[in-house]
Structure 1
Amino acid sequence: MDHLTAEFGGAEQMDTAVGPVLQRFSGVRRIAVLRGGGLGDLIFALPAITALRSAYPGAVITLLGTPVHRSLLAAVQSAVDEVQILPFAEGVRPGTKDPAAVDAFFADMQRRQFDLAVQLHGGGRYSNPFLLRLDARHTVGTRTADAASLERTVPYLYYQHEPLRALEVAGLAGAAPVDLEARLAAAPSAGAAAVLPDDAGSRPLVVVHPGATDPRRRWPVAHFAELAAACAADGCAVVLVGDESDRPLAQRILALAAPAPVVSLVGELDLAGLVDVLAAADVVVGNDSGPRHLAQALGTPTVGIFWVGNMINAGPLGRSLHRIQLGWTTVCPACGIDVTQVGWTAPRCGHDDSVVAGVPVKRVYEDVRSLVSTPRPGRQG
């Protein structure tokens, strides 16, 4: 610990800490948290935000995020006070950059006079300079060797569990963990009953999300169809969910699973509706994707189909309510390139062949059956 003490000026060791928990900053009234990306990216950051809320209970926490983050946080209860939408900027939010919009964003943020800015968005090559433009009194975050330094940093190494990585960053600001994984409760709403099959309440509800941003993380459509048909044959209500981009996958699943009574809500739900459906489910089955991570945060049991490398970064920590099936492929099925060098460490090949295709339907089905029969905390049965 001597090198940490020398670098950080003393660290309080706590049994619940992921890394060193340093002295808290004084006079913190406004906190900015930088986290772009999709649903899963936000969910990975939430334990750190909860820790910051606990450490600085009187501060206003502003998430610098994306439109999907704003929509989700409007549908759940969380430690975030407000969401400010990031401008399109290289390495922070993909899109056509508008220099005037970027300048206007920073002018607005600087007027807020943040006391603490927290970088939870990658290794810092782009996000650290972005964070520094906020002109916050204190800055903490992750950093690769080629990234601009912040006041307090931890090394960014690609293979680290993302929620734990974010908690390690929160520790730099003196915030010890409250939860190791995100915990969310749906905001009051009309509930899922309006969109689910009429008899769904009398049968186990299995919700399936077949999509993933990276096609290589997708379990084959034929496997999802076989699973859906088997669950329906067992008397489960089976519902497909996803956004508009998942509609072709859902259509193929419905065709292959026919005549099984599988229902698709793909492309029909806003985020509040998705939250309601996931919270109502008895089991959610999905790839390493935002809806699966969201279901877990809502306390719904899940069966996740993960590539082994993604499991290190994004897999659930417990197994009582969350089961995983791993794809152990380490080379691209098409060209043989090493796919374990991912993220910023190496460019990826242009092939989209699934790296989880070898996960057997039987094993996923067995996990679903096990979880359907497992009493869920807070529910009767």
Structure 2
Amino acid sequence: MTTSSWLARHDHTSVVIFRALQLGDMLCAVPALRALRAAMPRSRISLVGLPWADQFARRFSAYVDEFIAFPGHEAFPEQPARLDQLHDFYASMRARRFDLALQMHGNGQYSNAVVRAFGARAMAGFGAAPGRGDECLIPFPDTGAEPLRLLELATGLGAPACGPQLEFPITAADERELEASGVARGLAPGSYVCIHPGARYADKCWPAKKFAAVADQLAIRPQLKTVLTGSPAEVPLTAAVARLMRRAPVDAAGPLSIGAMAALMSRARLLICNDTGVSHIAAGLRLRSVVIFSKADIRRWAPLDQQLHRCLWDPFGEQAKAVLDQARALLMLR
């Protein structure tokens, strides 16, 4: 039996999707969420994710109607498992009697058991073995970019492909926050390059002195300023980069939310960053970027548009000239 019309054969008045991951992983799921919404325009779609992703669900309210925080699981490293909350969480999920549950959290080794415990009438997702009962599990692709893997799941179930492009909508609240912060005061659109030297894990970060050296070389161009971005936890890192620079940058780390930071980036000429969530924000904004990889699978996590986004493998911090050359080439693009 083919899976191509699986969604059409099932009631999907109420749908729950499980993907409890960080920012970049969630942004990579947007093409699949867009396809699922197109297939189920009148369904109520709930997202179960990490607590932070409440803001993701609100930003992508065109595709997600409700957010439900996941208490965690011992097999998932993204958050400490709050075991005392799990019993009530699963009981409340079963009480909802969802028509359909979709597992979009990896290959299903552990996540399929989590989604089965939601008690939905039907379930679909990735899995190594055929589903049991009213389940449709398809093999997790061994290769390919993450947005395409997830989109393959959605289209395999019968959703229409609505394009693989990422999105990052900028809201009026983002713009107001950016303006109120004063960070962008005096920064004309197109007059600056954003440097994002941080990442969730320190061992994924390109050396601060390399970011500083590249920023100084780019700042030689007339009227091209450097803006350092980062989370509150990355304030010491951006300060270190600033100290190493010959030309004083604008240090915007810390005070801005993800949305306001994206609004700041949306006016930049270019972003240079590690392989981290902001690279997928740049893809959603269609902001030119140079992305430096050191740990992750570059074929899986590189942005799809290789003309707009240049990805380099440099685990030992040896490719500063290549980063600079790619940045200069992107700045020359019309």
TM-score, reference length from structure 2: 0.89
- The one-letter code sitting in structure 2 at the alignment partner of 1:10 is T
- The one-letter code sitting in structure 2 at the alignment partner of 1:301 is R
Q: 2:203 matched to 1:216?
A: yes
User: Measured at CA, do residues 82 and 303 of structure 1 come closer, stay the same or move farther in structure 2, by a change above 3 Å?
Assistant: same
- Pairing partner for 1:269 from 239, 246, 256: 256
Instruction: Answer yes or no: is the 8 Å Cα contact 2:57–2:65 preserved in 1.
Output: no
- Pairing partner for 1:79 from 52, 56, 63: 63
Q: Provide, for residues 108-152 of structure 1, a one-character-per-residue CA deviation record: whole Å limited to 9, x for no partner.
A: 222322222111112222211000011112211122469999812
Instruction: Answer yes or no: is the 8 Å Cα contact 1:140–1:172 preserved in 2.
Output: no
Deviation at 1:219, TM superposition (A): 1.4
The equivalent of 1:161 in structure 2 is 145
The equivalent of 2:230 in structure 1 is 242
* 1:299-318 to 2 correspondences below 5 Å: 299-307=286-294, 310-318=297-305
Instruction: Answer yes or no: is the 8 Å Cα contact 1:217–1:307 preserved in 2.
Output: yes
* 1:109-124 to 2 correspondences below 5 Å: 109-124=93-108
Gaps spanning 5+ residues in structure 1: where? 1-8, 13-20, 328-354, 376-381
3-state SS of paired residue (1:207): strand
Deviation at 1:40, TM superposition (A): 0.4
- The one-letter code sitting in structure 2 at the alignment partner of 1:43 is L
The equivalent of 2:40 in structure 1 is 56
Structure 2 CA distance, aligned partners of 1:186 and 1:367? 27
The equivalent of 1:254 in structure 2 is 242
Q: 2:18 matched to 1:30?
A: no
3-state SS of paired residue (2:45): strand
User: Measured at CA, do residues 144 and 212 of structure 1 come closer, stay the same or move farther in structure 2, by a change above 3 Å?
Assistant: farther
Instruction: Answer yes or no: is the 8 Å Cα contact 1:43–1:182 preserved in 2.
Output: yes
Deviation at 1:208, TM superposition (A): 1.3
- Pairing partner for 2:194 from 207, 232, 238: 207
Aligned alpha-carbon RMSD (Å): 2.6
User: Measured at CA, do residues 98 and 309 of structure 1 come closer, stay the same or move farther in structure 2, by a change above 3 Å?
Assistant: closer
User: Measured at CA, do residues 52 and 211 of structure 1 come closer, stay the same or move farther in structure 2, by a change above 3 Å?
Assistant: same
User: Measured at CA, do residues 180 and 236 of structure 1 come closer, stay the same or move farther in structure 2, by a change above 3 Å?
Assistant: same
User: Measured at CA, do residues 254 and 126 of structure 1 come closer, stay the same or move farther in structure 2, by a change above 3 Å?
Assistant: same
- Pairing partner for 2:272 from 285, 306, 315: 285
Gaps spanning 5+ residues in structure 2: where? none
3-state SS of paired residue (1:372): helix
Aligned residues: 330
The equivalent of 1:10 in structure 2 is 2
3-state SS of paired residue (1:206): strand
- The one-letter code sitting in structure 2 at the alignment partner of 1:271 is I
User: Measured at CA, do residues 147 and 239 of structure 1 come closer, stay the same or move farther in structure 2, by a change above 3 Å?
Assistant: farther
3-state SS of paired residue (1:313): helix
- Pairing partner for 1:188 from 172, 186, 193: 172
Structure 1 CA distance, aligned partners of 2:133 and 2:295? 31
Structure 2 CA distance, aligned partners of 1:143 and 1:240? 41
Instruction: Answer yes or no: is the 8 Å Cα contact 1:219–1:305 preserved in 2.
Output: yes
Instruction: Answer yes or no: is the 8 Å Cα contact 1:303–1:367 preserved in 2.
Output: yes
Instruction: Answer yes or no: is the 8 Å Cα contact 1:302–1:323 preserved in 2.
Output: yes
- The one-letter code sitting in structure 2 at the alignment partner of 1:210 is P
The equivalent of 1:361 in structure 2 is 320
Instruction: Answer yes or no: is the 8 Å Cα contact 2:194–2:265 preserved in 1.
Output: yes
3-state SS of paired residue (2:9): coil
Structure 1 CA distance, aligned partners of 2:303 and 2:106? 20
Deviation at 1:325, TM superposition (A): 1.8
3-state SS of paired residue (1:139): strand
The equivalent of 1:372 in structure 2 is 331
User: Measured at CA, do residues 357 and 159 of structure 1 come closer, stay the same or move farther in structure 2, by a change above 3 Å?
Assistant: farther
TM-score, reference length from structure 1: 0.79
Instruction: Answer yes or no: is the 8 Å Cα contact 1:47–1:178 preserved in 2.
Output: yes
- Moved segments of 4+, more than 6 Å: 145-150
Structure 1 CA distance, aligned partners of 2:128 and 2:79? 24
Instruction: Answer yes or no: is the 8 Å Cα contact 1:64–1:84 preserved in 2.
Output: yes
Deviation at 1:99, TM superposition (A): 3.5
Instruction: Answer yes or no: is the 8 Å Cα contact 1:114–1:136 preserved in 2.
Output: yes
Structure 2 CA distance, aligned partners of 1:372 and 1:278? 15
The equivalent of 1:141 in structure 2 is 125
- The one-letter code sitting in structure 2 at the alignment partner of 1:223 is K
